């Protein structure tokens, strides 16, 4: 299926609660993402952008509609099958870094490979290589408390690289960083998209961070308000 997009959402809805208390977070989302794209997702709080990211990341399931990943109906997969998809194809970068506090940078990056059952020697080598790719060679044995915010986010990015994920889902990746460090992290994410072909889906409230993306999708009230190309990004 040569022309199958990487991701396709068709008529996706998500409703929380039942009866009079029900809240419809998504109201029929149609969205197609091609392999290698860099897409920024924007919108006010409550617009549905985080709900969509959770569905894309197999952290939540839609109430109705079709979610396809490389032509496979994700909405029909079992919980275990969705976990395998998440483990093997998707990487996550969060605003709060989500690192284990008492473990080293190397051990944090190794964590996904432990779940895959890789041997210690394979884990160590892969984690060292991933840390080197994000500019943290020599910082392998430092804990998060010994790293700056920017370094912690680099560790989180290395954790997605170590599994060779096809997609990076980044939720406000610069939200806890100062302006200069934010630009450094965005330069790194842009280079991963450009040089390694990793598909980037990034939620952000910041227009100057969204400007790095090649495409910007705006959500409002559970629907796609606009979807526009942004040239070649920053």
Query: Which of 173, 210, 229 is CA-nearest to residue 43?
Result: 210
Confidence of residue 1 (pLDDT cuts 50, 70, 90): very low
Q: Is the pLDDT of residue 142 over 60?
A: yes
Does CATH number 3.40.50.300 belong to domain 7-229?
yes
Q: Distance between CA atoms of 95 and 171, rounded to whole angstroms?
A: 6
Query: Which of 234, 207, 220, 229 is CA-nearest to residue 39?
Result: 229
Query: Which of 85, 9, 49, 39 is CA-nearest to residue 201?
Result: 39
| Cβ(171)–Cβ(93) below 8 Å | yes
Q: Distance between CA atoms of 73 and 38, rounded to whole angstroms?
A: 23
Tell me what the pLDDT averaged over the chain comes to.
Answer: 93
Output the pLDDT for position 93: 93
Q: Distance between CA atoms of 106 and 109, rounded to whole angstroms?
A: 5
Confidence of residue 232 (pLDDT cuts 50, 70, 90): low
Output the pLDDT for position 65: 97
Q: Residue ranges of the domains in the chain?
A: 7-229
Confidence of residue 233 (pLDDT cuts 50, 70, 90): low
For 157-193, what is each residue's pLDDT tens digit? 999 999 999 999 999 999 889 999 999 999 999 999 9
Average pLDDT over residues 51-77: 95
Average pLDDT over residues 80-105: 92
Confidence of residue 218 (pLDDT cuts 50, 70, 90): very high
Average pLDDT over residues 209-223: 96
Of 69-73, 140-144, 166-170, 173-177, give the lowest mean pLDDT range: 173-177
Output the pLDDT for position 24: 94
């Amino acid at each position: 299926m040569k022309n199958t997009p990487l991701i396709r959402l068709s008529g996706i809805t998500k409703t929380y609660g039942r009866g009079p208390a029900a809240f419809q977070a998504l109201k029929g989302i149609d969205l197609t993402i091609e392999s290698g794209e860099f897409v920024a997702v924007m919108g006010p709080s409550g617009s549905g952008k985080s709900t969509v990211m959770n569905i894309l990341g197999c952290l939540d399931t839609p109430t109705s509609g079709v979610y396809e990943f490389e032509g496979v109906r994700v909405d029909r997969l079992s919980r275990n099958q969705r976990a395998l998809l998440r483990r093997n194809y998707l990487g996550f970068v969060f605003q709060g870094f989500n690192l284990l506090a008492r473990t080293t940078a190397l051990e944090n990056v190794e964590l996904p490979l432990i779940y895959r059952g890789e041997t210690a020697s394979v884990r160590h080598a892969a984690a060292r290589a991933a840390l080197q790719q994000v500019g943290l060679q020599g910082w392998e044995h430092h804990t998060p408390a010994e790293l700056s915010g920017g370094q912690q986010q680099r560790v989180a990015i290395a954790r997605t690289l170590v599994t060779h994920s096809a997609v990076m889902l980044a939720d406000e990746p610069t939200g806890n960083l100062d302006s200069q460090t934010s630009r450094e992290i965005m330069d790194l994410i842009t280079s991963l998209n450009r040089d390694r072909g990793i598909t980037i889906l990034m939620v952000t409230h910041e227009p100057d961070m969204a400007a790095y993306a090649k495409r910007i999708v705006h959500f409002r009230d559970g629907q796609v308000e606009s979807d526009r190309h942004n040239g070649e990004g920053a």
